Amino acid sequence: MEKQSSNQVFLGISVFGAIFFIFGFATTFIVTLSAPVKEIFSLSEFEAQLLSSAFFIAYPLMSIPTGRLIDRIGYKWTVVAGLLLMSLGSFIYVPAARIPSFPIFLAATFVLATGVVFLQVAANPYVTAIGSPNTASSRLNFTQALNSIATMIAPWLISIAIFKGLQFPADAAVAAERVPMPFIFMGAIVLLVAIAIFAIKLPTLKSEKKEKKSIFKYPHVVLGGLAIFMYVGAEVGNAGLIVNYLKRSLGMEAEMASTYAAIYWGGAMVGRFFGSFMFSDLTSARKFTLALPVLLLALVSGAFVTDWSWNIGFIFMIVAAANFLIMQFGRGKAARTLATFALVAAILDIATTFTTGSVALWTIISIGLFNSIMFPNIFSLAVKDLDNAELSGASGLINALILGGAILPPLMGAIADTAGYTYAFLVPAVSYLFIFYYAVSGSKIRRKLADVIE
């Protein structure tokens, strides 16, 4: 790979930073969109959560074909193809909302999600390849931070672009008229990024041919994949129900409920910033110093998405501070922190089921903070002790089991339809308890499955 100039590095980071922002925004936008879609198409909660299913089903279906596509056309062109698919999916939403047609809406979601899968499979290697290898980790953290910021902005945008000033079900037709504009904007931006990727000169990555090895003989890998299934299903299921739960159970207007969904996703952003230095070798004093600007970020972001309600921003900052203090129990260890966060998340979901009012509001919103470090910690535990030939197989399994985002949200929707919204939150509670088991015990199993059977 040829040496890159500083200008090329800056341009490449800027473009790929935009890519991570885009697919983070798109994912959260679709998950939160289930609330207005429910009203527009007069759906049950189960049917509305099929929107998440249409998105996350793309992962098991398209991950392997995407890997093969990379082998054939390379990383750069796979990224361009992913962006074009996202743009196409975005524009399909326009007729889907104006007809309106829920099946076309689901088809648009799958097309857009396929583009996201292309990007996720191909973009990370590109980020590591741009610039010096010594700063690759820094570049990845930067792009992940942009991804997290996008996940907070998406629900906030729904609150102002779709829900603002509307009363349901009377204004369902008005909501349908408002849906296309965010997607037109997204499609246009994605096209511009695709053109930028096409125009700039980036490193050419060559695929390494490695001996393929099965990873299904390792219990800690298989259980780690199941933990990812549970994590994604729980995170998306909680997020998908927040708006309608706050509307139906707490009598909140849709616009305000959507801003609280933004705070839920903002918790993941804040928690990831905490995690970026908590899992480092910095001194405790330095870590506490770095926590201060993150707490300020929580204050400002919480106030911003609620139309500058500093009271809500202050509460969010206090909850973020509690998250940081609870993180200390993990002592910077992946398994210990994962176990602590999973147990707290399970307790918060259970508390949401059996409480009401402001308590239930903040127990469900606070879960976002404890979701923050789960994916990278589960991933690191699942691939621990594997050799290079086994790593790709483990990564493929984990990527495929993001399928949890397609299975658990409709299950929660069905429970919400039959037993009420509060009881639906017991599903992610059970999921978090499985993750707790994985962190405490499952991740430490190193015997091969064949030996266990014998």
Encoded amino acid at 208, one letter: E
Hey, what are 149's tokens? 């910021």
Rounded to whole angstroms, the Cα distance separating 444 from 449 reads: 13
pLDDT single digits (tens) 92-133: 999 998 888 999 999 999 999 999 999 887 776 666 556 665
Examine the domain organization and report whether 415 and 445 are in the same domain. yes
State the SS3 of 341-390.
Answer: HHHHHHHHHHHHHHCCHHHHHHHHHHHHHHHCCHHHHHHHHHCCCCCHHH
Mean pLDDT of the chain: 86
Examine the domain organization and report whether 280 and 303 are in the same domain. yes
pLDDT single digits (tens) 232-284: 999 999 999 999 999 988 899 988 999 999 999 999 889 888 887 887 777 88
Examine the domain organization and report whether 338 and 413 are in the same domain. yes
Examine the domain organization and report whether 147 and 250 are in the same domain. no
Give the number of other CB atoms < 10 A from CB of residue 371.
26
pLDDT single digits (tens) 400-431: 899 999 999 999 999 999 999 999 999 999 99
Examine the domain organization and report whether 236 and 373 are in the same domain. yes
Q: How far is CA 208 from the centre of its chain?
A: 29
Examine the domain organization and report whether 276 and 251 are in the same domain. yes
* Least confident piece of the model among 22-31, 67-76, 96-105, 150-159: 67-76
Contact between 420 and 353 (Cβ < 8 Å): no
Examine the domain organization and report whether 217 and 147 are in the same domain. no
* Least confident piece of the model among 389-393, 394-398, 399-403: 389-393
**Whose CA is closest to 201, among 76, 19, 16, 14?**
76
Examine the domain organization and report whether 174 and 49 are in the same domain. yes
Examine the domain organization and report whether 366 and 342 are in the same domain. yes
Hey, what are 177's tokens? 């008229």
Please state the rounded mean pLDDT for residues 26-49: 92
Please state the rounded mean pLDDT for residues 72-82: 86
Chosen domain end from 192, 207, 222: 207
Rounded to whole angstroms, the Cα distance separating 290 from 324 reads: 11
pLDDT single digits (tens) 135-187: 554 565 566 667 778 888 988 988 888 888 888 778 888 888 898 899 999 89
Please state the rounded mean pLDDT for residues 52-81: 87
Chosen domain end from 207, 228, 248: 207
Examine the domain organization and report whether 261 and 216 are in the same domain. yes
- Asked if residue 50 has pLDDT above 90, the reply is yes
Rounded to whole angstroms, the Cα distance separating 322 from 328 reads: 10
At 352 the pLDDT is 97
* Total domains, the chain: 2
Cis peptide before 410 (omega within 30 of 0): no
Q: How confident is the model at residue 364 (pLDDT cuts 50, 70, 90)?
A: very high
For 413, the domain range is: 212-454
Examine the domain organization and report whether 320 and 252 are in the same domain. yes
Examine the domain organization and report whether 219 and 161 are in the same domain. no
Please state the rounded mean pLDDT for residues 359-367: 97
Say which CATH number the domain at 304 has.
1.20.1250.20
Q: How confident is the model at residue 354 (pLDDT cuts 50, 70, 90)?
A: very high
Exposed, middle or buried by CB within 10 Å (0-12, 13-18, 19+), for 2? exposed
At 166 the pLDDT is 81
At 54 the pLDDT is 96
**Quick one: what percent of the chain has pLDDT higher than 70?**
87
- Asked if residue 454 has pLDDT above 50, the reply is no
Chosen domain end from 207, 227, 256: 207
